[in-house]
Chains A and B, each alone.
Chain A
Amino acid sequence: MIQFLVNQELRSEHALDPNMTVLQYLREHLGKPGTKEGCASGDCGACTVVVGERVTDQQGQESLRYRSINSCLTFVCSLHGKQLISVEGLKHQGQLHSVQQAMADCHGSQCGFCTSGFVMSLFALQKNSDGPDLHQAQEALAGNLCRCTGYRPILDAARQSCRQPCRDQFDEQQAQIIARLKAIAPQQTGELNSGDKRCLVPLTLDDLAELYEAHPEARLLAGGTDLALEVTQQHKTLPVMIHVSQVAELKRVDRTDTHLEIGAATPLTDCYAALNEQYPDFGALLHRFASLQIRNQGTLGGNIGNASPIGDSPPLLIALDACIVLRQGERQRILALEDYFIDYRITARQEGEFIEKVLVPLANDAWTFRAYKVSKRLDDDISAVCAAFNLRIEDGTVSGARVAFGGMAAIAKRARHCEDALLGKPWNAATLEQACEALAEDFTPLSDFRASKEYRLLTAQNLLRKYFIELQTPHIETRVTAYV
């Protein structure tokens, strides 16, 4: 059984179809049609809802943390022990919530179909904001598409929503909600079982390892932002899933003397601070990684585990010489990430093995790391090319080189010829051009609807040129993203 709150109502489910999304659950199961389906693929945000969960700060103070998610990509089991807030839950005693009022006042709705999703994103923004901030607002809304307004009135509504702290029913009921969530806090492995399909929700790493060893055919579900597409877009059935996001050990971010150790099920949102501190370019890229809704759900381990050639974190992690810890039963092994990807969607992961954590070396002044994402649209788009350069330059000579790309091959991979053309050479324009030419030996990219192979190759070369310019002449402006 799993338990959660839908707005103020306690729901206990055990025989529900584990492949049911939260969107379907709200609209079809509970008859709450305020949340809309725009695409069922996490790309438009019309289905945005907010999940509230208990968090404890360093002083041991408990509070609720609210995050926006795409309900179309979230399976119901992910709600275990949490509060789901849908648009129906905002209006209180017949009065619009302050974010709803702001949207209406600012003329933020035209056709209205995207509006409840925007309202929920604004609600989460208000809960997490300490004042109006354009960048925060843009980040909160990057995953919500509006075809009518052109966004200006919605940004006005964001500003109005965050202008002054507005005590609402959620603040007033916080203690009570915490208590109710505490009362339903999972105590043992949860399960949804509809007869033909089941989803198991273990609470500890050992339980997970044991379950996965026993059910190697199961699909591991973390954020689900990729896996759910198999259900909503490819119309597959996932008969057995193991949901890993209740395993606390998998959601830790620790810093050792040499590494960041990031639990595989850590949502990208929670990876941001540590990675950004070490590598600002990693942080900058995370800002453009899908949308906030996706980053609130999607995990670093998932972005590696699904082995997509266009995942944005692997090229960066490879360039940083990151490793992963793989676990099977009691057994652990450490593997360099670059050795994990073998071919298109083929990895070195063995049956019953799962990614436990990601080890990212701490920043080292001798190396200069930069990352670049090139896509058609600045926000919430998949890279045509994603490049990461990590060079050590000593006395004008390249003494270390890790160069990795996404979108250029069937896997995220290092550009060995390019690295060879750099290593031991003077860091100058001539070397740079040789390294650019070598990229043509490293990669034979494909043409698809995102970009042609010619564009991919030239862009990859130009990104290396850009890296060179940034290192050599830092006063020169090189990024349009600085203007976003």
Chain B
Amino acid sequence: MAELFRQDLTTGVGRSLKHDSADKHVSGEAVYIDDRLEFPNQLHVYARLSDRAHARIVSVDTGPCYAIPGVRIVITHHDIPGLKDIGPLLPGDPLLAIDKVEFVGQPVLAVAACDLETARTAAMAAIIEYEDLEPVLDVVQALRDKHFVLDSHTHRRGDSATALTSAPHRLQGSLHIGGQEHFYLETQISSVMPTEDGGMIVYCSTQNPTEVQKLVAEVLDVPMNKIVVDMRRMGGGFGGKETQAASPACLCAVVARLTGQPAKMRLPRVEDMLMTGKRHPFYIEYDVGFDDRGRLHGINFDLAGNCGCSPDLSASIVDRAMFHADNAYYLGDATIHGHRCKTNTASNTAYRGFGGPQGMVAIEEVMDHIARHLALDPLAVRKVNYYGKTERNVTHYHQTVEHNMLEEMTAELEASSDYAERRESIRRFNAGSPVLKKGLALTPVKFGISFTASFLNQAGALIHIYTDGSIHLNHGGTEMGQGLNTKVAQVVAEVFQVDFRRIQITATNTDKVPNTSPTAASSGADLNGKAAQNAAEILKRRLVEFAARHYRITEEDVEFRNGHVRLREEIISFEALVQQAYFGQVSLSSTGFYRTPKIYYDRSLARGRPFYYFAFGAACVEVIIDTLTGEYKMLRTDILHDVGASLNPAIDIGQVEGGFIQGMGWLTTEELVWNAKGRLMTNSPAGYKIPAVADMPLDLRVKLVENRKNPEDTVFHSKAVGEPPFMLGIAAWCAIKDAVASLADYRVQPRIDAPATPERVLWGCEQMRQAQAVRPPALDMETVPQ
């Protein structure tokens, strides 16, 4: 025992443990909602979706649905017992359409039947008569017409108008940034079981169990205490299950209430893609003034988010785009307007980065544009604009950027990626390669950590220690693959100094930890890790106090280490102490709570400290493009990313790599295309192309910044890692533009909206050739005899 006591715990924080469910994932034993054993009387729910972008509903005839054998009930908005709108903050999202439809894919009615196919057949049999109304499908039109879901908002520092007029150089431009389908592999799903007292148990694949609990209670018109939401794991979330998971849960709850039978709703892929919102597409306009070195004097930005048909979370999402329109740069005098445009498309929602990536793409476009204009290396322009350490370090929302690591990180990455040398070898390659061209870009990431709605920065946890020394852990965060449960369990293991395997991870459940915030904004481990640490420390304190009392020693004589406890000289096992504490009538269960310190923000003044700290990263990407077809391939990616003192390096690297590839996908092959009638045409993986294995860079080198604890008092001084690496993908987009720009000797900014599909890349090449008045390469070559 003494020997074990002297050894280090190998499963605490900082260890690269595998995901707690890894063995179950690989064996197919991990249970997702659709895999749960079902009651024989369970109903399957299918919603009939609007096929109109904007129309008045003249009539709905559900009679024909009942002609299909196996149909149990058909519901429209009339059948909803309580509130009919499930908008998370503001109304605008009717559970089932009332009088009008506002996008193709909006649920109008739902059928519950013995199986999914029957429910679908019946739902399609309903007769819905529409009177078409004029839809708004174009974000620019919505911007010009001030067709908004919410009022515009402005961040301002200094007098940008004067700065622009007096700057030595001035450029204007605009850019479209595409949206992004979450493409979680597990589509939206809920399964609901009626209980006594008019209650429900809701199994829902959601990042926000409390919100689902609240909305289910509201649509049923019962208090929240009747509803329990249980969430073990999601098959991916990425923000798409923050608000959008509620609709299937609420539809099932209404069906379960009306029939007394359990009900399940799993969206087939196409329905999921039509029904649910995505990352906001943005339209950007900028006007920038700068000096000969490319340093900004001032900038005006108009960031127009395409919110779709309702507010959903667009207030905060467009705000976050505005907060990140500086990325890593001191903007000078800046005026940033954020607009929330209303279009007749599915209501756009949270997606990894939450508007931040769009703001950062905007400023990175500006950096490239300045570089091309001044014939400078884009990296030089970026570096000259970095926030300073002691001056030029206040953002346009008046938060001081502290502990900024980008200068050192950029220097390290520049060196480790051989940036300068490769820049030269790429020039040589391009000079000798008329068809294929290479491009290179190194871009930084600075991402603010905290919910900008400050009250959400709170979390709870619950820990029980049983008499055999086994530990039951519950917290308010949700597991969507990011390894949150693993990290939180490592935190608890560390506090108690017990093996990770002693801790049972349990489903997030609203009757264990109430009033939780969504697992979003990269906050999962920061908030829930701290709350669990708090609960564990409370219990540990009780054990220490008990031991000191029991053994008549001082509290300093009690030391927990590697599954054991030292009591001055004596060493006993953790479970022995737990048993003694139980007999000593010590409570072995505790909640824990955490709220983020230091943050405040006054939106009316657009001023404050919305972020507890910033996470930093940088990526260097080399790409090769085909100037005849626009096809491309990422050749090499070097990443240096800051996670503070990592709770679990393997999991953090997984987030960094996965985030980079997802961000790259957003800006390259993932294109959302709607037709003229507002129907999403890329509504399945046959047409919507997320990165596949060959899209991975040939050479991928990922490194976490070492020996840099988060200076703030976060959980074991780690940093959030969910969202920040997503924006490393911007380097891929900039590298493509760099390759295209090589066609015009890097003097012309290619107009390549995001995503840079092969088509857009080819048009970029054509733009360069026109600028240079050169023809495609085949024409320049003399015929060589065979």
Query: CB within 8 Å of B: which residues of A?
Result: 32-41, 43-44, 46, 86-88, 90-91, 96, 100-101, 103-105, 107-116, 119, 137-138, 141-142, 144-155, 233, 235, 372, 374-382, 384, 393, 396, 427-429, 432-433, 448-452, 455, 458-459, 462-463, 465-466, 468-469, 471-473, 476-481, 483-484
Contacts and interface: CB of A to CB of B under 8 A. Distances in A.
Interface in B102-148: 117, 120-121
A40 B268 contact: yes
B776 A147 contact: no
A476 B483 contact: no
B651 A235 contact: no
A148 B658 contact: yes
Contacts of A44: 185, 685
5 contacts: A34-B27, A36-B32, A96-B27, A112-B24, A145-B185
Contacts of A372: 629
B32 A113 contact: yes
Given A34-B27, A376-B669, A480-B625, A144 B22 contact: no
A450 B758 CA distance: 10
B662 interface: yes
Contacts of A87: 27-28
A107 B22 contact: yes
Interface of B: 16, 18-19, 21-32, 34-35, 117, 120-121, 182-187, 233-238, 268-270, 433-436, 480-483, 624-626, 628-633, 635, 650-651, 653-654, 657-662, 669, 671, 673, 681-682, 684-687, 689-696, 698, 700, 702, 757-759, 762-763, 766, 776-779, 781-786
Contacts of B685: 38-39, 41, 43-44, 145
Nearest to B783: A428
B433 A107 contact: no
B120 A34 contact: no
B759 A472 contact: no
Contacts of A449: 671, 673, 681-682, 687
Given A41-B685, A376-B689, A429-B781, A107 B696 contact: no
Contact of A448 (B25, B681, B692): B681
A148 B779 CA distance: 44
A462 B625 CA distance: 14
Contacts of B696: 150-152, 155
Given A100-B26, A151-B696, 11 more contacts: A34-B27, A34-B29, A43-B685, A107-B654, A109-B25, A113-B184, A148-B654, A148-B658, A459-B628, A466-B435, A480-B632
Contacts of B121: 235
Contact of B658 (A36, A150, A458): A150
B599 to A, nearest CB: 29
Given A109-B26, A147-B238, A463 B628 contact: yes
Contact of A151 (B669, B681, B693, B783): B693
A186 B419 CA distance: 63
Contacts of A116: 25-26, 28
Contact of A91 (B27, B186, B659, B682): B27
CB-CB nearest 3 A-B residue pairs:
A34-B28, A111-B481, A113-B235
B269 A39 contact: yes
B186, B234, B702 interface centre (most CB from chain A within 10 Å): B186
A450 B466 CA distance: 58
Contacts of A375: 758
Contacts of A479: 436, 626
A472 B783 contact: yes
Contacts of B689: 376-377, 381
B758 A41 contact: no
Nearest to B115: A28
Contacts of A113: 32, 184-186, 235-236, 481
B255 to A, nearest CB: 20
A33 B30 CA distance: 9
Nearest to A372: B629
Nearest to A99: B26
B185 A477 contact: no
B433 A483 contact: no
Contacts of B120: 235
A149 B654 contact: yes
A351 B501 CA distance: 65
A301 to B, nearest CB: 22
A104 B657 contact: no
Given A154-B693, A479-B626, A46 B631 contact: no
A134 to B, nearest CB: 9
Contacts of B681: 448-449
Contacts of A379: 692-695
A88 B28 CA distance: 7
A39 B693 contact: no
A463 to B, nearest CB: 7
Given A41-B686, A378-B631, A110 B183 contact: no
Given A112-B24, A235-B120, A449-B682, A149 B692 contact: no
A376 B692 contact: no
B293 to A, nearest CB: 35
Contacts of A114: 185, 235
Contact of B758 (A91, A374, A465): A374
A451 B631 contact: no
Contact of B236 (A111, A458, A466, A468): A111
A155 B26 contact: no
Contacts of A148: 236, 481, 654, 658
